[in-house]
Structure 1
Amino acid sequence: MLTELSIKDFAIIDEISITFNEGLTVLTGETGAGKSIIIDAVQLLTGGRGSVEFVRYGAKKADIEGLFIIDDLHHPIFEKGRHFGVDINEDGMIVLHRTITANGKSICRVNGKLVTLAILKEFGKTLIDIHSQHETQSLMEVDRHIELLDLYVRDELEQVKSDYLRLFEKFQALRKRYRELSENEQEMVQRLDLLEFQLKEIQEAELSPLEDETLSEERDKLNNYEKIYQGIHDAYNALYGEQKGLDWLSLALNGLESASEYDEEAASKKEEFSNHYYVLEEFTFDLRNFLDSMEFDPERLNVIESRLNEINRLKKKYGQTVTEILEYAAEVEDEIDQITNRESHLSKLQNQIAELGEDALLEARHMHDIRKKAAETLSDSIHKELKDLYLEKAAFGVDIQMRRGKEGDPQLEGIPVSMQANGFDLVKFLITTNPGEPLKEINKVASGGELSRIMLALKKIFSKHQGVTSVIFDEVDTGVSGRVAQAIAEKIHGIATGSQVLCISHLPQVASMADTHLLIEKHVSGERTSTSMVELDTESSVEEISRMITGAEMTETTKEHARELIKLAEKFKKDQE
């Protein structure tokens, strides 16, 4: 969950540090106090689009930092860390950091490592799910519906989807190759000329594996011939000659021989020393032979330089090493064969495409069956959630249609189907809020208030499947009141039982349900405006909820009403345990 959030020089925030707890945290305050600015900061921290307008006036940069602690060692954030080379210890601490400078630069870090904005976003969406009053628009995007349905049945679908995707990618690659071979004969002829030229150039070079490495080593030796010769010569002279190493060692050996006639241990030492002496003597002779055999050949150096220049010229075209160049030549030969014998290859590709298409279609059909079954269960679950939100007359359905293809596509029961990365299904969420009316697409039926409740119903179901540690609601309860407001408050708290929830709200019913109540206030000092935040105790929360109820002067009656709301909320929480 999000444990700490630090914000500095961001919009009207001078500097603020917030500690978040588990459960439901509600942020309240007057309109314009800066509640949504907190959410804007979290969005930027998790990879949202930045702007110099976020930098506080007069400051050089805005800094946002968040500490997340993950207890589940199987959480997908650990796989993200391994994938992007970010160290995440077993204590599960992840620190996201975002800096936006006054000149528009954005600097992102994860656990201290500099990353791109795209990578920061990958980490962010794994940790936090943000919903605003405008986010419900994503429910209207039909392309998102299949993602949500798959999320609902992820465990059962995961392996099947993986098997399908593997087949689908091979299927697409073969179809692409078939198009390349069959569509433009003139381009093929031009391509063939180029490939034959490249192959001839590589073959004429008569390259040997690792030749560049071997020649580079030999060149280095020739370039440093004098240093090598002088070093060996100095070593030999230090060992051989009058008053040199071997001469002194010979004296030592003679001394040990004299002593060995009278002492067994001295004899043993003499034997051991003599072995070393004769080895060193042999080594000295080897050095002399090595010196005699050394020869500097400037012509050979010229040959090597010329050969390496030729190899480097080929590297610029065909690969970083000789091995890569030879591998490229093998690929060129294969492609030349395919173009030269195009008809037979096209026929072979057709057969392979047909076989792979059938295999992929079987897996896609399997996914279809799983989705159909999941759609029924999902509909039942959403009906229950909608009933809790006083949309008991609403009907929800999941329409799954086969995406029709064109001639040449794999056929299912005689009908060509268009297969995509997620199969051939086209999924739409349908709803009607009025009895007797047919199910229609959400955006053609639901009002703004209904969309908020539908989104909450979906979030209640999907939050436990998504794996995110924190869910943020930014005024998703706008425009509702009464019993609907109470139902929304209970639903938001229900989501908080499985995930940490941060909620910005103007509803007293939601505020009374908070496990932690934070008040955001705006202050004006001199000519500068700043935002502060304080955690409210029970009595302070009563006063804040009273203000939310009346919007004007507090009375004992409104305070009593606020206390009653908190009391009812506590009873609801206890009943849910």
Structure 2
Amino acid sequence: MIEQLTVKDYILFDYACVDFNKGMSVITGETGAGKSLLIDAIGYLCGDRINGDIVRKGKEKCILQMVCSLPNSTICSKLEEDGYEIEDQLMIQRIVSKNGKSTIKLNMMTTTLNYVRQLMNQILDIHSQMDTIQLMDTDVQLSLLDQYARNDALLSKVQEAYQIYAKNKKELEKAQNETFSDDELDYITSCINEINQADVKENELEQLQEQIKQASQFQKNMEDFQRSIYLLDQENGILDQLYQLHKILSKNDVLSSSVENEYYQLEAIAQDLKEKRDRFQNDVQDLDTLMEREYKIKKLFRKYGGSFEKMQQMLQSYMNKVDLILHRQDVFDKLEKKCKQSKKVYDQFALQLHESRVQCLSSLSSQVESHCHDLMLEHAKFKIDIQSINPTKKGMDAIEFMVSMNPGQPFSPLKKSASGGELSRLMLALKVVFQVQNSIETIIFDEIDTGVSGKVALSMGQKMKLLSSHYQVLCITHLSSVACWADTHYRVFKNVKNQETFTSIEELDEKGCLEELAVMSSGNISPASLNNAKELKERVKNG
């Protein structure tokens, strides 16, 4: 759960630090006060992308920070495996500069938005009016059904089998659609012969280029080699003269020994130079051959993909085409058999997935209808229409949520049947049903009660209260009928100081809570509105 949220120099906030509690918390305030800014901040700390400038005017950077209690042991183990230090809590901090650049840290270690996003998706769920609209998407509905049926492992098997089947099917269709003339066969055959006859080895080009480099360099230095050897080895050259010096000084053992050592060192140098000259002379003589081979390999690479690896791939492709042309029916038979086998495996998993989905339809519909009735949708009927479709990575089912909102009304797709207020309640009913199936610890509702009032709003608040017995629930609302269910009530408000606007948030005590409920219901604080607020609190307290 979220334990604390801190923002500094964030849009209208100078500084705010909120300590959240377990159970149900509501955030209220006048329109435009900045209630949703706090939910946006939580979203940014969960890895959402930032659109626009969120740094307070005149400031260099904005600091957002959220402290959460430790999640379940599975998530903690994964964090430790990934190198994050886990102690008593999780702390996420995001610093955004006024030029739009940001850094995000997890327990003081720099991380990525994608990593935080994947982590927080397992811990926290933010639900807004946009999510209610997304509920009309049949792909979202299918994902919710699979979530309810706990089909994750089965879905992975279906997706893996589909990828293999789709690949085999594509290969078969390509082979069936390909036609080749005699000229094309001749061309492909000539390409295969050209590559095979060249007999290029892996890394041969690099080795050739190194040999050419060395031979070229020696060729440039050949004159220096010859001159050095000549100076040392010519008649009456350095070695001869040093030998004569050695003979003259041979009577003096000390001097003779020194000159003798120099003589043998220079003689060794002369021998080394001769060996290098003889060795590289062969390379120099073969330089034209080496360069001709380099040119031939480069030409082949340019023609067949640009590298040794690409050329080998094209060679294999040519050979497959020749095999297809010469043994067309055999190739078709092999590909068709391969395709049928992979389709059979896919069908087995897809059927298991279909049966798993069908098996839970009745219980799911019953649960959703039960919660709808609690939310003042007494006549609502819910079912899931399921139709067979061609193979996809999600199986062979197309599903759609169908509802009937009034007696005698036929079932029709959700997007065509429910009004805004009805859709909000349906979403809440579905949230209660589906949320039980995952590891989420915190659920945030951002003004999902739009379009409802009175008893309906009261029932929605009651449902959120029911959720809060299992999860931490944060709710932004403009309805007193929802806010009255809260265990903790926060108020967001604006004030102006030195011609600057500041947004602040405070936790309300019992008196402040009643006053806020009075303002929300009647627009002002009066003995009558306060009395109504007290009655509302007593009513929800006593059930």
Bin the TM-score by the shorter chain.
0.7 to 0.9
The amino acid of 2:165's aligned partner reads F
Match of 2:257 in 1: none
Whether the aligned pair in 1 keeps the contact of 2:205 and 2:297 (CA below 8 Å) is yes
Question: Equivalents in 2 of 1:88, 1:309: separation in Å?
Answer: 54
Match of 2:342 in 1: 356
Q: Give TM-score, length-normalised by structure 1.
A: 0.71
Question: Equivalents in 2 of 1:444, 1:387: separation in Å?
Answer: 20
Match of 1:379 in 2: 365
Question: Equivalents in 2 of 1:357, 1:121: separation in Å?
Answer: 35
**Does residue 10 of the first structure (1) align with residue 10 of the second (2)?**
yes
Map 1:488-567 → 2, pairs under 5 A: 488-555=460-527, 557-567=528-538
Count of aligned residue pairs for this structure pair: 486
Question: Equivalents in 1 of 2:323, 2:355: separation in Å?
Answer: 43
The amino acid of 1:169's aligned partner reads Q
Q: Aligned match of 1:183 in 177, 186, 208?
A: 177
Question: Equivalents in 1 of 2:10, 2:54: separation in Å?
Answer: 6
Q: What is the DSSP-based 3-state SS (H/G/I as helix, E as strand, rest coil) of the residue aligned with 2:437?
A: helix
Q: 1:478 to 1:318 in 2, by over 3 A?
A: same
Whether the aligned pair in 2 keeps the contact of 1:130 and 1:472 (CA below 8 Å) is yes
**Does residue 97 of the first structure (1) align with residue 94 of the second (2)?**
yes
Whether the aligned pair in 2 keeps the contact of 1:398 and 1:427 (CA below 8 Å) is yes
Per-residue CA deviation, residues 214-260 of structure 1 (Å, 9 max, x unaligned), is 9999999999x9xxxxxxxxxxxxxxxxxxxxxxxxxxxxxxxxxxx
Q: Aligned match of 2:426 in 451, 454, 474?
A: 454
Match of 2:149 in 1: 153
Q: 1:217 to 1:460 in 2, by over 3 A?
A: farther
Q: 1:132 to 1:161 in 2, by over 3 A?
A: closer
Whether the aligned pair in 1 keeps the contact of 2:11 and 2:54 (CA below 8 Å) is yes
Per-residue CA deviation, residues 372-399 of structure 1 (Å, 9 max, x unaligned), is 1111110011111111112121111111
Q: 1:520 to 1:169 in 2, by over 3 A?
A: same
**Does residue 140 of the first structure (1) align with residue 112 of the second (2)?**
no
What's the CA shift for 1:346?
A: 2.5
Question: Equivalents in 1 of 2:121, 2:542: separation in Å?
Answer: 34
Per-residue CA deviation, residues 466-508 of structure 1 (Å, 9 max, x unaligned), is 4333221111123323332221111112222333221101222
What's the CA shift for 1:178?
A: 2.1
Question: Equivalents in 2 of 1:178, 1:11: separation in Å?
Answer: 58
Question: Equivalents in 2 of 1:73, 1:61: separation in Å?
Answer: 35
Question: Equivalents in 2 of 1:202, 1:122: separation in Å?
Answer: 48
Q: Aligned match of 1:128 in 124, 129, 147?
A: 124
Question: Equivalents in 2 of 1:516, 1:307: separation in Å?
Answer: 82
What's the CA shift for 1:438?
A: 1.2
Match of 2:268 in 1: none
Whether the aligned pair in 2 keeps the contact of 1:96 and 1:110 (CA below 8 Å) is yes
Q: Aligned match of 1:109 in 104, 113, 125?
A: 104
What's the CA shift for 1:100?
A: 6.4
Q: In angstroms, what is the RMSD of aligned CA positions?
A: 4.2
Map 1:49-128 → 2, pairs under 5 A: 49-75=49-75, 78=78, 87-91=83-87, 93=90, 95=92, 97=94, 99=96, 101-102=98-99, 105-107=100-102, 109=104, 111=106, 112-113=109-110, 115=112, 121-128=117-124
Q: Sequence identity of aligned pairs in percent?
A: 30
Q: Which runs of 5+ in 1 are unaligned?
A: 226-290, 404-417, 573-577
Q: 1:431 to 1:63 in 2, by over 3 A?
A: same
Q: 1:513 to 1:196 in 2, by over 3 A?
A: farther
Q: Which runs of 5+ in 2 are unaligned?
A: 219-271
Q: What is the DSSP-based 3-state SS (H/G/I as helix, E as strand, rest coil) of the residue aligned with 2:445?
A: strand
Bigger mean CA offset, 299-308 vs 490-499: 299-308
Match of 1:445 in 2: 417
The amino acid of 1:43's aligned partner reads G
Q: Aligned match of 2:436 in 464, 467, 470?
A: 464
**Does residue 169 of the first structure (1) align with residue 166 of the second (2)?**
no
Q: What is the DSSP-based 3-state SS (H/G/I as helix, E as strand, rest coil) of the residue aligned with 2:160?
A: helix
Match of 2:392 in 1: 420
Whether the aligned pair in 1 keeps the contact of 2:63 and 2:93 (CA below 8 Å) is no
Question: Equivalents in 1 of 2:26, 2:301: separation in Å?
Answer: 62
Map 1:136-535 → 2, pairs under 5 A: 136-154=132-150, 157-185=151-179, 203-204=196-197, 206-208=199-201, 297-298=279-280, 333-334=319-320, 337-338=323-324, 341-403=327-389, 418-535=390-507
What's the CA shift for 1:33?
A: 0.8
Question: Equivalents in 1 of 2:524, 2:409: separation in Å?
Answer: 43
Question: Equivalents in 2 of 1:305, 1:123: separation in Å?
Answer: 57
Match of 1:231 in 2: none
Per-residue CA deviation, residues 268-311 of structure 1 (Å, 9 max, x unaligned), is xxxxxxxxxxxxxxxxxxxxxxx999968435597999989988
Q: 1:119 to 1:564 in 2, by over 3 A?
A: same
Question: Equivalents in 2 of 1:126, 1:315: separation in Å?
Answer: 50
